[in-house]
Copies of this chain bind each other. A is one copy, B any other.
Amino acid sequence: MAKRAGVSLSTVSLVVNGAGYVSDQMHDRVEEAMRDLDYIPNELARNLYRDRTNIVGIIVPTIRHPFFSTLTAVVQHELARHGLRTLLCSTADADAGEAQYVDMLRRHMMDGIVMAAHTSHAPDYWTSIGRPIVAFDRYLGAGIPSVGSDHEEGGRLVAHHLIRSGARHVVAIGGPRNQFHDLAAVTPTTAGDAVVSDDNTTFPTVRYHMTLEHELHRNGVRFDYVEAGEVYDLAGYAHAVEGVFGRFPDVDAMVSSDLGAAYCVQEALRRRIAIPRRLQVIAYDGTFLADAAGMKLTVVQQDFATLASHVARRMIRAIGGNAPCSGTSGGPESDPSSADVPGDEPQGLTDLVPMRMVRGETTR
């Protein structure tokens, strides 16, 4: 519909896309006409032709939780650097499970999905989708790339600090423990004790608690796990924390996410329990909240920037082919099945990002 300057639409298209050969004269004439009528190309038509939207969905439980808001922010940033937009897909804030978002992926409304929420679907479900998916902090099935922090290292960092500082009774507050087994090839033994089995088939976050528990037990430190409800139930942490002090009067170290740790500090202040002298608190994640929780929290820090860059890299590769932003459109050679390029680099399909501990005011 842009045949104003007496040229054909193909020429306009060539100019707009900077492709092909157009004489300078034509070029200028088209540019001028575009400016005059302030022509704006309709992206919808391109999308249809290219079978690309340049939109990637990120599935999280809720963006309200500081961990997921931080994660989403960095992932968005990183994707944007590659010309991809981020569609917010939260499962708790939208009465819609992940299935609806996967459906959108199937219907080509998104080019790919970053999956960072709990799922009740089995690996078959995920592998059969046949479109680009990157798993965050979870295993979704053979061939689906996965990115996450090295939670075993995280568990070790926490355990070793607590052991060194003389903790006797550690309480961890976290999500529903039954989720630990949904996708995990983990063999729980009788006494609530569990053992990590196969390296490649475990829900990664579980390893944090398992390693922690294992290390503490090995060193004769008592360890209890308290469930705080689903991750999207922010107030659930507060209740769980309050309960801990009643149930375990002799607790001398508490371990949770930033949010849980913040409640620990708050409740300890209220009960006039001296931190870190009588009670140590270690937060897991290291979002802004760790700096604003009444005391500067000691944290085991996730490296969000690195995590995001891995996620973006995996996603770009999975989407494949045609670069979205740069003019170098290499034709439609994208192949959905390239989502599961097998072991094309050292670590295979899993990126494990190191963690580090940062001392605050809540540990000795």
- A residues lining the B interface (CB < 8 Å): 40-45, 47-48, 51, 53, 55, 62-64, 66, 69-70, 72-74, 76-77, 80-81, 85-90, 93-96, 104, 106-109, 234-235, 238, 259, 262-263, 265-266, 269-270, 287-289, 291-296
Contacts and interface: CB of A to CB of B under 8 A. Distances in A.
A94 B80 contact: yes
Nearest to A53: B44
Given A63-B72, A70-B64, A73-B62, A109 B44 contact: yes
Contacts of A265: 294
B63 A66 contact: no
A93 to B, nearest CB: 5
Contact of A44 (B63, B76, B108, B296): B108
Nearest to A234: B288
A66 B291 CA distance: 13
Contacts of A262: 292-294
Given A266-B295, A293-B294, A63 B55 contact: no
A44 B40 contact: no
A30 to B, nearest CB: 18
Contacts of A81: 95
B76 A94 contact: yes
A94 B106 contact: no
Contacts of A269: 269, 294-295
Contacts of A80: 93-96
Contacts of A263: 292
Contacts of A95: 77, 80-81
